[in-house]
Amino acid sequence: MSTNLQTMTDPTKMGLGRSIAVLTSGGDAQGMNAAVRATVRVGLYTGAKVYFVHEGYQGLVDGGENIRPATWESVSMMLQLGGTVIGSARCKDFRAREGRMKAACNLVKLGITNLCVIGGDGSLTGANEFRTEWSGLLADLRRAGKIMDEEAKKSSHLNIVGMVGSIDNDFCGTDMTIGTDSALHRIIEVVDAITTTAQSHQRTFILEVMGRHCGYLALVSALACGADWVFIPEMPPDDGWEEHLCRRLANQRARGSRLNVIIVAEGAMSRDGKPISSDHIKKLVTDRLGFDTRTTVLGHVQRGGTPSAFDRILGSRMGVEAVMALLEATPDTPACIVSLSGNQAVRLPLMECVQVTKDVTAAMAEGRFEDAIKLRGKSFENNWNTYKLLAHINPPDVKSNINVAIINVGAPCAGMNAAVRAAVRMGIIQGHNMLAVHDGFDGLAHGQIEPINWTSVSGWTGLGGSKLGTKRTLPGKLMEEITQNIAKFNIHALVIIGGFEAYVGGLEMVQAREKYEEACIPMVVIPATVSNNVPGSDFSIGADTALNTITSTCDRIKQSAAGTKRRVFLVETMGGYCGYLATMAGLAAGADAAYIFEEKFNIKDLEGNVEHLVEKMKTTVKRGLVLRNENSNANYTTDFIFNLYSEEGKGVFDCRKNVLGHMQQGGTPTPFDRNFGTKMGAKSVLWLTEKLKECYRHGRIFANTPNSACVLGMRKRALTFQPLAELKGDTDFEHRIPKTQWWLKIRPIMKILAKYNIKLDTSEHADMEHVIKKRSPLSS
């Protein structure tokens, strides 16, 4: 499974003569259907035969009608459904050798030697055991006369690939398991709803979330909503926590807060191993503080509902990777799982991941809690450290006498406020004075600058838009006034949060260093825009929220089209010249096409799309969804394409159009954007603090090196700082996009899943990696 040079292999013939079965097992998770759909469609695309195994391992054991051939159309309209359409069951029979023999017999009879398992660690361990004893099972079946020698020979080896479907995110080696992001969506929806009622009555709310052995959901929810306290199994509170908790809640109230939120993982326990239940905490708070306290146990709500855009894309990309891993496997290849690390597809040895997952449980049982957090991975550890720093005010005794200003630039987007809150609080923890600049560079030029403190950013993580106010004005023409105000307010460092204007504004500020000494201060740009078009970062704050808005709208549109039949919807998305939103929403909503600026198209392509839709109307799937990025082509406008489709589709389908507009910039931020914004805000100020130390000379700050003005971005698997000046070469300034964009590589997946006959580039493989070397996306 290393990078073979298979450029010559025709991907549409890779699976000829092969059979793949797909099953979902264990607890259900949102996004499993996306994984099943992608596995089926890519399997069929490669020429393989694909089978559904209904009801998990039970269906594998019982055989018969439970193992059925899958068709292209049979996975239609699955993408937006929660749970698993092919069913899942806990299976005792498969645990016994006799049950596994029956399962092996059923597979051999159908000539299936490739198994794709979507489930948690128990399901995947079971799959590996099945594979390990495969030859022994076949020998027993031959002896018992249940299979012929010829059949045994044809099925001499079983390939297994796993995808982790678990809302708990409790499987080590993977950044995000299928279902985790959707579960966080459910939790945050509830937290937001509870917050409004808690504030009305000045209540304390205790929220119990899932996670018997893993505190990921509790921890990220606490980070995303700014909870006062979180209880997780990996890190029980110190002895005497009851006093500490009550003191903290009372302090919050004394500071003017009208509510307290406490989040508890269901597996939370004390240092001596006793469970800490939500009822126990409620009694404590009520008895000691007399606060009006309520508990809410979320339970199976977290497993339900429609999958988030991230889980659909994760499931779809994993399905593609799983089929490739199966078809490339040799008898010597260990069973692997496919996963995403940052935005990279990776393959990991299944049993290594299982072992590390078991090591976490052992560390917790032995009281080695620091080890448990480390073993969970860099992302988990980083979440924990960020949460500890930001949850409670703990400013140092000595002030730094440094003034750090924070500014929002460009169009507003969800998650900006989370970044501002984290930057303000991290600055206060570092001993700095934090300044808020209102209305972008305009405000900086006109002196709209005021101190901002710990309490003034309370509750900001869940607010959409920009509380500071933001404008698109660039600093170039206002530089005289801006530098005067930098001197007047004694600003030593600048955090610029925004989109392409923030990036260009940062470059103009760097340029101004040649003329104005006041501009010689450390600066950091945090990408925040729905368009995801800032050079230096694979993701920007706000894009995930916009993507979910587009995806949920497309779901409703598809439902309408499915009801009326023979209807094609054309939807225009935002993004400027950047096709990220159109492409990703196309993948998440199951679109037939997505027109973008980066991939040039002509009248022949438009004709080809119409023909494709005409063919589609002959099947049972009588509807179409086409996305168009707002600036994809100056002449082939949304109206032009709508008119073309309406004319060419006459008598076969009718066409409707929707322009989504500014709804894509609004709404409350998704858990990802809250968490991402929080980490970016905190990390930017920590970096500025270090830079300020480097740039302090003769009693003043002087920063004029390229690496003292950076973009903080996520690159592949880590957050990195890149000098603004170095990024100029990778920028198309005319069209306001980076010259290289990682997501263009996954566009073929969208086309293959929409049944276009195109070639998938199989030359770039995901290497088999080892868990120990793993890094994680929001780490470092």
* Residue of 28, 140, 168, 538 marked catalytic: 168
Residue with tokens 């264990």: 26
Residues linked to residue 710 through DSSP beta bridges, in sequence order: 524, 723
DSSP, collapsed to helix, strand or coil, labels residue 178 as strand
271 assigned binding-site residue: no
Residue 203 annotated as lining a ligand binding site: yes
Check whether 700 is labelled as a binding-site residue.
no
Any binding-site annotation on 529? yes
Residue 651 assigned to a binding site: no
Do 454 and 425 form a contact (C-beta atoms < 8 A)?
yes
User: According to the annotation, is 567 in a ligand binding site?
Assistant: yes
Say whether 99 counts as a known binding-site residue: no
Task: Look up residue 649 and give its amino acid.
Answer: G
558 vs 568: CA distance, rounded Å: 9
Tokens of 733: 């300034």
3-state SS, residue 346: strand
Ligand-binding site membership of 364 (annotated): no
Is 656 one of the annotated binding-site residues?
Answer: yes
Closest CA to 172 of 316, 329, 334, 373: 373
Q: Is 168 a catalytic residue?
A: yes
β-strands 731-732, 737-738 pairing? antiparallel
- 762 assigned to a ligand binding site: no
Using DSSP, state whether 735 is helix, strand or coil: coil
531 marked ligand binding residue: yes
Distances from the Cα of 421 to the Cα of 118, 413, 415, 527, 683, angstroms:
38, 15, 10, 15, 12
Return the bridge partners of 264, or none: 208, 231
Which residues 6+ apart lie within 8 Å of 286 measured at CB?
293
518 belongs to an annotated ligand binding site: no
Closest CA to 774 of 440, 347, 148, 250: 347
- Which 8-state DSSP code applies to residue 214? -
* Helices assigned H by DSSP within 477-616: 479-488, 500-512, 543-564, 580-589, 603-616
Name the one residue in this structure whose structure tokens are 């959409």: 464
344 annotated ligand binder: no
Q: Is 9 annotated as a binding residue?
A: no
Residue 123 assigned to a binding site? yes
Is 90 among the annotated ligand-binding positions? yes
163 is in an annotated binding site: no
Residue 414 burial (CB < 10 Å; 0-12/13-18/19+)? buried
Tell me if 498 is assigned to a ligand binding site.
Answer: no
91 is in an annotated binding site: yes
| Residue found under tokens 């920007």 | 540
Count of other CB atoms within 10 angstroms of residue 16: 11
Q: Does the annotation place 27 within a ligand binding site?
A: yes
Q: Is 248 marked within a binding site?
A: no
H-run or E-run covering 83:
none
Which residue positions form the known binding site for Mg(2+)? Answer: 121
Annotation: binding site: 27, 90-91, 120-123, 166-168, 203, 210-212, 266, 294, 300-303, 472, 529-533, 567, 574-576, 630, 656, 662-665, 736
Residues with catalytic function: 168
Binding residues for substrate: 166-168, 203, 210-212, 266, 294, 300-303
Report the binding-site residues for ATP: 27, 90-91, 120-123
List, as residue ranges, the binding site for beta-D-fructose 2,6-bisphosphate.
Answer: 472, 529-533, 567, 574-576, 630, 656, 662-665, 736
